[in-house]
Amino acid sequence: MVKFILSSRRVKQASALLTGTMLMAASLPGFAAPVELTLDEAVAMALKSNPSVKISESELEKANWDVSVAKAGKAPSVSLAHNASRYKTAASSTYVYNETSNYIFKYPVPDYLTTLYTNSIDMTLPLYTGGKLEGTIDKAKLAVKVADLGITNAQQQIKLDATNGYYSILQTRNLVTLREESLDRLTEHLKNVEAQYNAGTVAKTDVLRSEVEKADAEQNLIIAKNSYELAVSSLNNIISLPLDTELIVKDELKYQKFDKSLEDCIKVALTSRPDLAQAQVNVDIAKTSIKVAESGNKLTVAATASEKWHDSDFPGTENNTWSIGINASYNLFDGGLVKAQVKGSKAEFTKATEQLRQTKDSVQLEVRQAYLNMLEAEKRIETSKVAVVKGEEDYKIAQVRYSAGVGTNLDVIDSQVALTSAKTDYVQALYDYNTSRAKLNKAMGMAVK
């Protein structure tokens, strides 16, 4: 045997090295400190950092700039132009009559180069466009409303996603606990079966069956832990944290009575849903588009002003001319273009109207589904709670009977499976109730706080 003897100095150096290594490891991404979250904190993080909200905000900014673009059409437009040209005059001849000699002389004119500089300022101010500019501005303003409602819709969806993700962690965490409890019960029962087998009071088949049940419980625990890790990664993605961040959720799955009737929920949804309001605004946009299309058959009037300078010397600011006038135009024939545009706009209006009706029906259906699912989960909470109490009592009785030699191994295993199933049903009912309630709040268009 070889013995290694370390001095106290070496021990201190090794200890310091180990401590430093652990600190460095803790600073690496894989060793990041866990993040503790409540449900409200998770929702707040999602609203702050999720790309969907930022995309909607960018769309609103774009819509506001589109209003400025539309308004610019009513402002005067001024353009400044400069032209510099150099051209050559070809050689020619000219004839001159001499009265004294009564003779016509022919004189050759050589070619020559000429440079000309021209500057101009032109202004156009639309006076009347048949409602085209006004309609374009109105459409742009309505589009701002759609984009603003889009932010609200995105926020509500993100809140729902974060809430469901948070509840999913709670559910899978509870299922991991239940699988661990099941494994512990089967492990203890296996020890009891082995002791009785060694004492010769039970058959080998009891041991084998108990070992199989324990192995099955171990697999279920592995699956439950994997589901938990996936749930954590999913919520990390929603709240924009690294996917491997360890989360510690502070809340618990619990039951809280919902106090609104189905009719009240539908009324709230019809007045609060942002996508329903968007559909209504889209109808207004389509109606305005018809007016814009019809303006193609109306008179347009614009005021014009222009001033020009031209000179052979740079920059050409001599010899100016100017003009002021009114320009009126009317489309006599366009091959049916405006008519087709009007027909197309009317078809879009019909489409928008039907989409509004479709959205109203979908909103009511969505509220009804979420509400009924919530009520169904609420009833399951009560029944599964009773089943858990009965299952625990049944399992204890089965254990006592088996230990006393009057019960069978199958009775204990069946009661254990029934108890685990009852507890799982209770957790599932709580999860379904809370997620259905969150979906109902989204379906009603409840404001994001």
Segment 321-325 mean pLDDT:
91
Mean pLDDT of the 83-108 span: 70
Question: What's the pLDDT score for residue 117?
Answer: 86
Upper half-sphere CA count for residue 124 (Cβ side, 13 Å): 13
Asked if the model's pLDDT at residue 25 lies above 60, the reply is: no
d(C-alpha 42, C-alpha 53), whole Å: 15
- Condensed to tens digits (0 to 9), the pLDDT of residues 267-308 reads 999 999 999 999 999 999 999 999 999 999 999 999 999 999
Cα separation of 403 and 209, whole Å? 16
- Report the pLDDT value the prediction gives residue 11, as an integer from 0 to 100: 37
According to the model, what pLDDT value does residue 2 have?
34
More confident residue, 427 or 24: 427
Confidence of residue 412 (pLDDT cuts 50, 70, 90): very high
What's residue 315's pLDDT?
A: 74
- Report the C-alpha gap between 18 and 26 in whole angstroms: 12
Residue 443 has pLDDT above 90, yes or no: yes
Rg (CA), the chain: 42
For the chain, the straight-line distance linking the first and the last C-alpha, in angstroms and rounded, comes to: 71
Residue 24's pLDDT band (boundaries 50, 70, 90)?
A: very low
Query: In which residue are the tokens 């109902």 written?
Result: 440
> Which residue bears the tokens 């609060």?
272
Is the pLDDT reported for residue 386 higher than 50? Answer: yes
- Of residues 286 and 309, the one with the higher pLDDT is 286
Helix (H) or strand (E) holding 244: none
Using the predicted structure, report yes or no on whether residue 336 has a pLDDT greater than 50.
yes
Which pLDDT band holds residue 47 (cuts at 50, 70, 90)? very high
Sign of the C-alpha dihedral, residues 394, 397, 402, 408?
Answer: negative
Q: Is 283 left (phi over 0), alpha (psi -120 to 50) or beta?
A: alpha
Domain extents in the chain: 33-85+126-303+334-444
**pLDDT value at residue 366:** 97
33-85+126-303+334-444, what's its fold?
A: Outer membrane efflux proteins (OEP) (1.20.1600)
Which secondary-structure segment (H or E) carries 274?
helix 274-294
Task: Give the DSSP per-residue string, 123-148.
Answer: EEEEEE-TTHHHHHHHHHHHHHHHHH
> What is the distance between the alpha carbons of residues 220 and 208, in angstroms, rounded to a whole number?
19
Ramachandran quadrant class, 407 (left: phi over 0; alpha: psi -120 to 50; beta: rest): beta
What's the pLDDT tens digit per position in 197-227?
999 999 999 999 999 999 999 999 999 999 9
Tell which residue, 32, 7, 436, 438, has the closest CA to residue 232. Answer: 32
Q: For 327, list phi and psi in degrees, rounded to 5.
A: -110, 115
- Of 87-101, 233-247, 409-423, least confident by mean pLDDT is 87-101
pLDDT above 80 for 23: no
